[in-house]
Structure 1
Amino acid sequence: MFISEHKSKELLSQYGMAMPDGRVARTAEEAEARCREIDSRKYVVKAQIPAGGRGLAGGVKFAATPSSVAEETKKLLGSNLVTEQTSSAGETVESVYIEAAIDIAKSYFVAIAIDPKTGSPILLASSEGGVEFEQRARMDEGTVRTFPFAPDTPDTRSQLAEFLESVDIAAPQAIDSLFAARKAFVENDMILLEINPFAKTSDDRWMVIDAKIVLDSNASFRRPEFESMASDLATRESELEAQKNNINLVKLDGNVGVIANGAGLGLATLDMIVDAGGKPANFMDIRTTATSFDVAKGVELLLQDPNVRVILLNIHGGGMTSADTVAEGVNFAFSRSDRELPVVAHVSGQNAEWGIRILKDRKVPVEPFNTMSAAINRAVEVAK
């Protein structure tokens, strides 16, 4: 669950991390009023969208006066930003973040993620931060260095200091700030915390100039405020509706609607669709706690998407989700919808045969296949 820059900074500031003074605005008039509350001779106007890469796409503007802040805000609000991290349709700017411009002496990139091998936090760092960091990192893998980020102890501090020297960071304040970031990462169930730039200012302070946080939506039951953070960023209504019904859904810009149970199976399905020359319309992961009525809601969201031309059902029954539970959900959705789409199915595991029989007996237009590849190739063919 991606949260906005200003919410990310608000969260990090609670852990003592320093950052420029800033305010959120949703109109040009509000932006002008808010920047008058900021003690600065120059301002930055930042579009708030659920994606990075705003700077190169024209989503970050500098302004010298409150009136020019209002002008830049007026240009950004309602505009559509297409970055490397959005779909081809881009994202509409519905709010901006007005911030004091900072005199940066040196920019760095730092991030904390989960190490897939150990399941523990890992620190990524580079001496070359800023708007063109991602391009440089793609061209040179050595741009980013990694450090197993253990809890704060004297030994870890010594090891971290040695690591940071390799990326040209040598300051106790920077070390304190990064341990604060680690604490925020762990205590708030984050799966990604990216700070770019992590900046050394001209007066030797270390500040968070831009921040990106992705929260683990599976932990939302522990932190109910996650939902308000997501809605603040205008997360797609369909994705929020799916989350309420035990479905993980991410909208994409293709035409093959995907229903899968398990994140790994869902991602593998997307890769195979692309390899077959198709374009997935979504990522879907049916959670193990989902009922047939929850599944029905997820299928309904696909039936409501005008871009979807075919539904690919890739299910392996097992654990807490059996194939017939998913089949009942598909049937419920079709029985309540005015739109009927062809369904291409690969169903295996617990109650697989019974699931296919349910679909056929209830007159769902299903075409079953014995292998994933055969089903995926057929779905891509139908979509074209």
Structure 2
Amino acid sequence: MNLHEYQAKELLKKYNVPVQEGIPVDTPEAAAEAYKQLKVQYGNNFAVVKAQIHAGGRGKGLIEGTKQHGVAVGKSSEDIKTIAGNILGGTLVTVQTGPAGKVVNKVLVAQDVYYDGPAKREEFYLSILLDRASGQNMIVYSTEGGMSIEDVAHDTPEKIYRERVQPNMPLQGFQARKIAFNLGVTGEAFKNMVKFVTNLYNAYVGLDAAMIEINPLFKAADDKVIAVDCKLSLDDNALLRHPDLVALRDVTEEDPTEVEAGKHNLNFVKLDGNVGCMVNGAGLAMATMDMIKLSGGEPANFLDVGGTANAQTVEAGFRIILKDPKVKAILINIFGGIVRCDRVAQGVIDAYKSIGTITVPIIVRLQGTNAAEAKVLIEESGLKVQSAILLSEAADLVNKAVNA
């Protein structure tokens, strides 16, 4: 589950991670008031207005049809009000949103941390995530902050460092000091960096995060170490341990069909293809998508109905797939292990009758327990549903459907 920047920062503060303070607002007038509050509290010379969407590249991204970037600086309450007015309600297009962009419903008005002081200001990069190859948590960091880490990895890979931590162990003191040393900070900034990294790792573990990315990780002119930006993704499977965090989910940032599928406990991911597929089991779903590609089609979705498919889940899957106007055919591929194929077949028939007119061809491939009985049920139903037992038969039927 992805969080907005302002939500992530509030969670980090609970773990004593210093952040760039800000106030989330949803109107231009509230943005102007937020600027005044920040000026009184922190003596700002300026404030930063940041679009709150679940995507990176906001600073370079543009509000559709304008020259307004998703992150902009204002030096007065009127400036902030104008910038917020240009951003709120607009569609922000970045390298991560794709051409469709995302509608901005909130902005974060953040304090000025680029003040003058005796020390040099510096920007770093730091993230924590699971390294699946080693089965360990990994801290990735670099002296090159404030820019895309992908570009750094491509152009200057020697500037990226990695520190692995055993999942059942805390971050050790020598590891935190090693990170601060590699980042080149000294004196008071060194001590602050060690504290920052240690507390951030505690937040990663304590929140059951899938990923935390701080970019830039900022060393201010008074040697304070601050998270200026933060991306935080929580592990969905661990949310049962954090019921208070479930309320932070913003469904407006997610694909509506994926949200609807979640309500029916369906594992659904929308893709840009022409063959809808409904399968029980993630591995079989991946194989089915490969088969669709080989047959000349393109998968329109990944849909795993689980091991206990019934009429209700099949009908919900049908309705979700049929919302995609690009779908030319639907392939149902069920292996009858836990569930009997004849029960799935009856579920397909019941769902077909419940939904009503379905204009796209439906191919049903059932294999396993009672597969032969299931084939008979479908063939005798009188519905326009084509059945197959072998994967090769299903592939032929898909090929005919997409090339008709």
| TM-score between the two structures when normalised by the length of structure 2 | 0.80
CA deviation after TM superposition for structure 1 residue 307, in Å: 3.4
- Are residues 1:71 and 2:82 paired? yes
2:99 maps to 88
What residue is the counterpart of 1:178 in the other structure? 197
Contact 1:111 1:193 in 2 (8 A): yes
Please name the residue that 1:131 is paired with: 147
Match of 1:368 in 2: 388
Q: Which moved more, 1:343-352 or 1:13-22?
A: 343-352
Assess if the C-alpha contact under 8 Å between 1:56 and 1:131 holds in 2.
Answer: no
One-letter code aligned to 1:35: Y
| Deviation string, structure 1 residues 261-291 (Cα, Å, up to 9, x no partner) | 4445545655776687755433334345776
Shift of 1:154: 9.2
* Greater alpha carbon shift after TM alignment, 302-311 vs 331-340: 331-340
Structure 1 position 334 matched with structure 2 position 386: no
**Of 163, 172, 186, the match for 1:156:** 172
The residue type paired with residue 48 of structure 2 is V
Residue type at the aligned position of 1:301: I
Matches within 5 A, 1:108-119: 108-119=124-135
Structure 1 unaligned residues grouped into runs of 5+ = none
Q: Following superposition, which runs of at least 4 residues in structure 1 exceed 6 angstroms of deviation?
A: 151-155, 274-277
C-alpha change, 1:35 and 1:185, in structure 2 (3 Å) is same
Asked if the contact 1:309–1:383 (Cα under 8 Å) also holds between the matched residues in 2, the reply is no
CA drift at 1:99: 0.8
Q: Is the 8 A contact 1:256 1:379 kept in 2?
A: no
Provide the rounded CA distance (Å) in 1 between the counterparts of 2:80 and 2:27: 11
- Counterparts of 1:108 and 1:197 in 2: how far apart (Å)? 6
In 2, the alpha carbon distance for the partners of 1:70 and 1:376 equals 60
The normalised TM-score by structure 1 is 0.84
* Counterpart Cα distance in 1 of 2:75 and 2:370: 66
Corresponding residue for residue 49 of structure 2 = 45
Larger Rg: 2
Shifted more, 96-105 versus 197-206: the winner is 96-105
CA spacing shift, 1:272–1:16, aligned 2, 3 Å = farther
What stretches of structure 2 of length at least 5 have no aligned partner?
A: 62-68, 116-120
The CA distance in 2 between the partners of 1:378 and 1:140, in whole Å, is 46
| C-alpha contact (below 8 Å) 1:256/1:380 kept by paired residues | no
Counterpart among 273, 276, 280 of residue 257 in structure 1: 276
Comparing 231-240 and 72-81, the one that deviates more: 231-240
Q: Distance in 1 between matches of 2:305 and 2:281?
A: 6
**Does the 8 Å contact 1:193/1:211 carry over to 2?**
yes
Q: Which amino acid aligns with 2:355?
A: S
Q: CA deviation at 1:295?
A: 4.3
What is residue 102 of structure 1 aligned with on the other side? 113
What do residues 99-123 of structure 1 show as CA deviations (whole Å, max 9, x unaligned)? 1132182222211111213443221
Q: Percent identity?
A: 32
Structure 2 SS opposite 1:2? coil
Identify if the C-alpha distance between structure 1 residues 155 and 130 changes in structure 2 by more than 3 Å, giving closer, same or farther: closer
In structure 2, what is the equivalent of residue 297 of structure 1? 316
Distance change in 2, residues 1:128/1:304 (3 Å): same
- Alignment deviations for residues 6-52 of structure 1 (CA, whole Å, 9 cap, x no partner): 11111111111111111111121222222222132211111111222
Are the equivalent residues in 1 in contact too, given 2:141–2:161 (CA < 8 A)?
yes
Specify the code of the residue in structure 1 equivalent to 2:74.
A
Q: CA RMSD in A?
A: 3.5
Query: Is the CA contact (8 Å cut-off) linking 1:311 and 1:379 kept in structure 2?
Result: no
Q: Whole-Å Cα distance in 1 between the matches of residues 346 and 396 of structure 2?
A: 22
Paired residues for 1:198-347 under 5 Å: 198-231=217-250, 234-266=253-285, 279-287=298-306, 292-318=311-337, 330-338=348-356, 340=358, 341-345=360-364, 347=366
User: In 1, are the aligned partners of 2:137 and 2:167 still within 8 Å (CA)?
Assistant: no
